[in-house]
Structure 1
Amino acid sequence: MRANQVPEQSLERRGEKQETSQLPSHAFCTGARFPASIHVHDVAGESSDLRHSLRTVMTLAGIKVVLFDLMGTCVDWKSSIVAALHDCPHALGLHPNDYEVLATDWRAGFFERILALSGQQSPDIDEIHRDVLNALLADRGVSEDDWDADVRARLVAAWHHQLPWPDSANGLRRISAKYPAVVLANGTTKLQLDIVRSAGIHFDALFSSKLLGYTKPDPRIYEKALEMLECAPTEAVMVAAHAYDLRAANKLGIRTIYVRRSTEDPTEDMDAVRHDVDFFVDGTIGDGLCEVAALLGC
Structure 2
Amino acid sequence: MAEATRSRLALDWREGFFKELHARSQQGLPPEDIDITHRKTLLGVLGWDIYKEDRRHFVGLDNDGGELLGVYKPAPEAYEKALGLAKVRPDEAVMVAAHAYDLRAAKALGTNTAYVYRWTDDRSEDMNVVRRENNVFLGESESENGMEGLYSAIEALN
Asked if the contact 1:215–1:221 (Cα under 8 Å) also holds between the matched residues in 2, the reply is yes
CA deviation map 1:173-194 (0-9, x unaligned): 1443334322122x33xxxxxx
| Paired residue type of 1:209 | G
2:140 and 2:128 map into 1 onto residues whose CA distance is: 15
State the secondary structure of the residue aligned to 1:258. Answer: strand
1:178 to 44, 47, 51: 51
Asked if the contact 1:175–1:296 (Cα under 8 Å) also holds between the matched residues in 2, the reply is no
Q: Which residue of 2 aligns with 1:222?
A: 79
Asked if the contact 1:236–1:254 (Cα under 8 Å) also holds between the matched residues in 2, the reply is yes
TM-score (norm 1): 0.34
1:297 and 1:250 map into 2 onto residues whose CA distance is: 18
Asked if the contact 1:262–1:284 (Cα under 8 Å) also holds between the matched residues in 2, the reply is no
Q: 1:261 to 1:176 in 2, by over 3 A?
A: farther
2:109 is the alignment partner of 1:290: no
Structure 2 alignment gaps of length 5 or more: 1-33, 36-41
2:95 to 234, 238, 258: 238
| Paired residue type of 1:269 | D
State the secondary structure of the residue aligned to 1:182. Answer: coil
1:213 and 1:289 map into 2 onto residues whose CA distance is: 29
2:67 is the alignment partner of 1:210: yes
Residue-pair matches, total: 112
2:132 is the alignment partner of 1:259: no
2:99 and 2:135 map into 1 onto residues whose CA distance is: 14
| Paired residue type of 1:178 | Y
State the secondary structure of the residue aligned to 1:227. Answer: helix
Q: Which residue of 1 aligns with 2:137?
A: 280
Tell me the C-alpha RMSD between the 2 structures. Answer: 2.7
1:296 and 1:274 map into 2 onto residues whose CA distance is: 15
Q: CA deviation at 1:263?
A: 1.6
CA deviation map 1:236-265 (0-9, x unaligned): 011111100100000000000111112211
Which structure would you say has the larger RCO, counting Cα contacts within 8 Å and 6 or more residues apart? 1
Between structure 1 and structure 2, the one with the greater Rg is 1
Q: Which residue of 2 aligns with 1:155?
A: none
1:251 and 1:281 map into 2 onto residues whose CA distance is: 20
| Paired residue type of 1:223 | E
Q: Which residue of 2 aligns with 1:247?
A: 104
| Paired residue type of 2:49 | S
State the secondary structure of the residue aligned to 2:121. Answer: coil
Which of structure 1's runs of 4+ aligned residues deviate more than 4 A?
A: none
Larger proportion of strand = 1
| Paired residue type of 2:51 | K
Asked if the contact 2:76–2:106 (Cα under 8 Å) also holds between the matched residues in 1, the reply is yes
Structure 1 alignment gaps of length 5 or more: 1-159, 162-168, 189-207
Q: CA deviation at 1:273?
A: 0.5
Q: Which residue of 1 aligns with 2:14?
A: none
TM-score (norm 2): 0.62
| Paired residue type of 1:183 | G
Larger proportion of helix = 2
1:270 and 1:222 map into 2 onto residues whose CA distance is: 24
Asked if the contact 2:69–2:78 (Cα under 8 Å) also holds between the matched residues in 1, the reply is yes
Q: CA deviation at 1:228?
A: 1.1
Q: CA deviation at 1:288?
A: 2.0
Q: CA deviation at 1:279?
A: 1.4
